[in-house]
Every structure is written in structure tokens, then in C-alpha cells.
């Protein structure tokens, strides 16, 4: 890169655009989004997305970058959030001259502090032992959150009021749109910071520790130290995400620090793809969107969520980002068009199987959960039928069976075509 800029100075602006274009584009998208999706629900969803992007990226610093599978990352998110809520209340009560936009830093500091404390005990080992310690610590703090009511507020949690703080330039952060821009700004800064971290020598060493800890030791690095530092930084960013959540919801409760929250961030990062930096961003956006949209459409949305996750683990361990990057070489070689017809063919059994599965789940959900109160009549995608009659079940089973059978039959052809195009 450096050589090209020196020999061809004329291409410097182009080079800069290539280098920073994606960031400028990202900032522009973040600024413009609320002008396009103006509804209150969309704004709330986008705020949540921003928080979750920071959270899942911080998680990926452990899982994707350093190869540490954590089942207790919500601890740092939750503790950061709780400290931010307490800080908000203290600042409002004592009229301290601290503006709201700086508050996520308090959350980050809390995340960092506990990252240091818990990291010191848990990062001495990698692999399964680390995963189990993180699970133990996660459950420990989650159980404590119900016992120490003074700090965690028990089941109902701790509330705060973000508008009661020092106002700068007349912005009081009352309306959601102002909070959105605050979250977007923090999210943008955090994404850049975390991306920059992956480019530092330390960030590269994290990858080395993930890939081959023995050789990393031979090069002269302490793998434990590298894991520890990565863990602390991940805790810091998780704390920032928690602080943003505290500002957004003005409430923190035991759910935010529970094992379920740790599970959600794992799902996000994995569905998005842990192998690439932008994977967890995609995962956070998609999973948040699914949470909001699917829960409106169907009562069985958690089930779909779990099934999507299992499918991803079974067939696409690289996540969505992995799937996209798989096609990049074909795109660069211009052979992507040759594979597309095969995808079109495969889409038929996939659509059949999916339709069968959805019909099966929806009919079962209606029959088991809703039929007792609302009666067996139900509607799905414009079709009206009764969930206690045989036809929908037969159709669902037939669609699912045919989809699976055809899919298995035709899959080798797609694989062959893909291999041909990639060669």
C-alpha cells in the first residue's frame, strides 16, 4: 500500500477514498437512517441495534479474534449498565457537572474493572476450562444480582432519568431521536476503535493465540497475557454497550445480567459470523430485527430463532459473513453468474422445505397454544384453515419431506458447480 502511494501520487485521493470510504459510508447511513425510517418503533429498534452492535463486537473480540468461548459476557454489559444507572442517579441528585454523553465511559470503566478482576482468574486457561469458568462466573453474578438488592434492585431493577443531568447546547436527550444520535455516535466510535484494535500488533497476536497457542509462546509472547488483555478490552466495550443500554432504557434489571443475555450475544455473534469483523455487526442487526419483527408476526418466534441458530451451526459455521466471503473469490473472478442458475434450482426445494416447516410450526403452535381460547380457525400467508383438521398437516409434511428429499438429491450438483466456478 505504502509503495503504490509513493510511486503513483496521482491515485492518492482514490486510495484515501478506498481506505476510508466504507467508514464515511457507514457514518452517512447512520445519520440518514432515522430520516428514512421515521416511526417511533423503527427508532427504538435502531437504538437497540446500535447497542447490540457494540456488545456483539466486544463479544467477538473474545470468540472470533482470540478464540475464547465465553458464556458469561453479559456480566460486563450488565455491571456497566448498573453502574451507569447509579451514576445517572448520583449525578442528578448531587448536580455534578457531568453531561450525559460521557456516561457510557463510566459503564466502560466498570466493565474494564471487572474484566481485570475476573480476567485474572479466568484467562489462565483457554478452551473448555475458560468456557466453564465464564459460565460459573456468569451464573455467580446472575445469582448475586437477585441477592444484593441494594445495588441490583432485585427483580424490578433500578430506574433513572436521563433528562435530569447537565444539559449542553440545549440538548436534554428527552426525545428518542436525540438518544439515537448519541448511541449512533458511540457505536461509530466503538466500531472504529475495535476495528483499529484488530490491526494492531496485539490484535494480530490475539489471532495467533487463537490459531496456535504453542507457536505464539515460542515466538516469545505470553498467551495468558494476550488473552487477559483481550478479555479486559472486551469487558470495557461490553461495559460501554451496557452504559448505552442504561441511557436508552433508563432501567437496568436482573435480566440484563442473566445467562440469557449472554446467550443472546453468543447467538448474534455466531449467526453473523465470528470469522470476519463485520459478521457480528450483521448478526446484531439481523437478530435485533428478527426479535422485533418475528415477535409481532408469530408467537413461536423463539423457536424459529433456535432453529436458525442450529441450522447455522450445522451448515454454515462461518455465519452470514462466512457465506458472503465464500462468494467473494467467485465475484472477483467473474464466475459468480455461472453458479446462480444452480442456486435458482436449489431455491425450489429450500422454499418447499421452509414453507412446510413454517406451516408445521405455526399449525402446531396454534393448535397447542391458541386453539383452546381462540378456536381452531387460523390464517397463514393469506390461507385460512383449521389447525385441528388433517389437510394442513398433510400438506406441511409433504412439503417438508419433498423439500428435504429434493434438496439432498440436488445438493451434489450445486457443490460440483461451485467447485468448478471456484477453480
Assess 177 for contact with other proteins (CB under 8 A).
Answer: no
Residue choice 129, 189, 397, 398 for contact with other proteins (CB under 8 A):
129
311 CA to centre of own chain: 17
CB 334 within 8 A of CB 391: no
Whichever of 313 and 411 has its CB closer to other proteins, that residue is 313
Assess 369 for contact with other proteins (CB under 8 A).
Answer: yes
Q: How far is the CB of 259 from other proteins (least distance, A)?
A: 7
CB 354 within 8 A of CB 403: yes
Whichever of 86 and 162 has its CB closer to other proteins, that residue is 86
How far is it, in rounded angstroms, from Cα 162 to Cα 33? 24
Whichever of 133 and 184 has its CB closer to other proteins, that residue is 133
Q: How far is the CB of 244 from other proteins (least distance, A)?
A: 22
Residue choice 303, 380, 406, 414 for contact with other proteins (CB under 8 A):
303
How far is it, in rounded angstroms, from Cα 30 to Cα 12? 27
How far is it, in rounded angstroms, from Cα 150 to Cα 144? 11
Over its C-alpha atoms, the chain yields an Rg (Å, rounded) of 24
How many other C-beta atoms can be found within 10 angstroms of the C-beta atom of residue 407?
Answer: 16
Give, in order, the Cα–Cα distances in Å from 264 to each of 42, 71, 205, 309. 21, 10, 28, 11
Whichever of 86 and 342 has its CB closer to other proteins, that residue is 86
CB 344 within 8 A of CB 337: no
Residues 29-88, interacting with other proteins (CB under 8 A):
69, 86
Assess 314 for contact with other proteins (CB under 8 A).
Answer: yes
Which span sits near other proteins by CB under 8 A: 38-46, 122-130, 237-245, 275-283?
A: 122-130
Spell out where 146-281 has E strands.
Answer: 158-159, 251-252
Whichever of 140 and 189 has its CB closer to other proteins, that residue is 140
Assess 259 for contact with other proteins (CB under 8 A).
Answer: yes
Residue choice 29, 140, 189, 351 for contact with other proteins (CB under 8 A):
140
Beta-carbon contacts of 111 under 8 Å, excluding residues fewer than 6 positions away, are: 76, 77, 79, 80, 235, 236, 237, 238, 239, 240, 242
CB 287 within 8 A of CB 264: yes
Assess 277 for contact with other proteins (CB under 8 A).
Answer: no
Residue choice 16, 17, 41, 144 for contact with other proteins (CB under 8 A):
144
Assess 24 for contact with other proteins (CB under 8 A).
Answer: no
Whichever of 336 and 364 has its CB closer to other proteins, that residue is 364
Which single residue is written with the C-alpha cell 478490552?
233
Assess 321 for contact with other proteins (CB under 8 A).
Answer: no
Assess 313 for contact with other proteins (CB under 8 A).
Answer: yes
Q: Which helix (H) or strand (E) holds 87?
A: helix 74-94
Assess 148 for contact with other proteins (CB under 8 A).
Answer: yes
Assess 128 for contact with other proteins (CB under 8 A).
Answer: yes
Residue choice 44, 98, 102, 139 for contact with other proteins (CB under 8 A):
139
79 CA to centre of own chain: 19
Assess 121 for contact with other proteins (CB under 8 A).
Answer: yes
Which span sits near other proteins by CB under 8 A: 98-106, 142-150, 168-176, 226-234?
A: 142-150
CB 254 within 8 A of CB 142: yes
Q: How far is the CB of 147 from other proteins (least distance, A)?
A: 5
The phi, psi pair for 249, rounded to 5°, reads -90, -20
Residues 189-218, mask of contacts with other proteins (x by CB under 8 A): ------------------------------
How far is it, in rounded angstroms, from Cα 120 to Cα 225? 9
SS3 of residue 363 by DSSP: helix
CB 284 within 8 A of CB 272: yes
Which span sits near other proteins by CB under 8 A: 42-50, 172-180, 232-240, 310-318?
A: 310-318
Q: Residues interacting with other proteins, by CB under 8 A?
A: 69, 86, 121-122, 124-125, 127-129, 131-133, 135-137, 139-140, 143-144, 147-151, 259, 263, 266, 270, 300, 302-303, 305-307, 309-310, 313-314, 317, 364-365, 368-369
Amino acid at each position: 500500500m505504502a509503495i503504490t502511494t509513493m510511486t503513483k501520487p496521482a491515485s492518492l485521493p482514490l486510495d484515501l477514498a478506498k481506505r476510508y470510504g466504507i467508514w464515511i459510508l457507514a457514518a452517512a447511513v447512520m445519520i440518514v437512517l432515522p430520516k428514512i425510517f421515521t416511526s417511533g418503533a423503527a427508532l427504538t429498534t435502531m437504538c437497540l441495534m446500535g447497542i447490540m452492535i457494540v456488545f456483539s463486537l466486544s463479544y467477538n473480540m473474545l470468540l472470533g479474534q482470540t478464540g475464547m468461548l465465553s458464556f458469561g459476557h453479559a456480566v460486563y454489559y450488565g455491571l456497566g449498565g448498573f453502574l451507569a444507572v447509579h451514576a445517572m442517579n448520583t449525578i442528578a441528585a448531587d448536580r455534578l457537572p457531568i453531561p450525559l454523553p460521557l456516561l457510557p465511559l463510566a459503564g466502560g470503566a466498570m466493565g474494564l474493572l471487572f474484566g481485570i478482576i475476573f480476567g485474572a482468574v479466568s484467562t489462565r486457561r483457554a478452551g473448555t476450562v475458560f468456557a466453564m469458568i465464564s459460565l460459573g462466573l456468569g451464573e455467580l453474578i446472575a445469582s448475586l444480582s437477585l441477592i444484593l438488592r441494594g445495588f441490583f434492585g432485585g427483580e424490578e431493577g433500578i430506574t433513572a432519568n436521563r433528562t435530569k443531568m447537565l444539559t449542553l447546547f440545549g440538548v436534554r436527550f428527552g426525545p428518542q431521536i436525540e438518544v439515537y444520535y448519541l448511541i449512533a455516535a458511540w457505536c461509530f466510535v466503538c466500531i472504529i476503535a475495535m476495528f483499529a484494535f484488530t490491526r494492531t500488533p496485539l490484535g494480530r497476536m490475539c489471532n495467533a493465540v487463537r490459531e496456535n497457542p504453542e507457536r505464539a509462546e515460542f515466538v516469545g509472547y505470553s498467551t495468558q497475557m494476550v488473552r487477559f488483555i483481550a478479555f479486559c478490552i472486551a469487558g470495557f466495550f461490553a461495559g460501554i454497550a451496557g452504559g448505552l443500554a442504561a441511557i436508552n432504557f433508563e432501567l437496568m434489571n436482573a435480566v440484563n445480567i442473566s445467562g440469557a443475555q449472554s446467550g443472546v450475544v453468543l447467538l448474534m455473534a455466531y449467526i453473523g459470523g465470528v470469522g470476519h469483523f463485520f459478521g457480528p455487526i450483521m448478526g446484531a442487526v439481523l437478530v435485533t430485527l428478527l426479535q422485533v419483527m418475528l415477535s409481532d408476526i408469530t408467537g413461536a418466534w423463539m423457536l424459529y430463532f433456535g432453529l436458525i441458530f442450529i441450522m447455522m451451526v450445522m451448515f454454515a459455521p462461518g455465519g452470514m459473513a462466512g457465506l458472503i466471503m465464500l462468494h467473494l473469490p467467485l465475484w472477483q473472478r467473474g464466475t459468480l453468474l455461472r453458479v446462480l442458475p444452480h442456486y435458482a434450482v436449489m431455491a425450489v426445494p429450500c422454499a418447499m422445505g421452509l414453507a412446510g416447516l413454517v406451516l408445521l410450526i405455526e399449525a402446531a403452535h396454534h393448535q397447542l397454544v391458541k386453539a383452546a381460547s381462540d378456536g381452531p380457525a387460523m390464517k397463514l400467508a393469506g390461507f385460512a384453515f383449521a389447525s385441528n383438521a388433517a389437510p394442513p398437516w398433510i400438506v406441511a409434511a409433504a412439503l417438508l419431506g419433498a423439500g428435504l428429499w429434493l434438496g439432498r438429491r440436488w445438493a451434489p450438483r450445486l457443490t460440483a458447480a461451485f467447485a468448478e466456478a471456484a477453480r
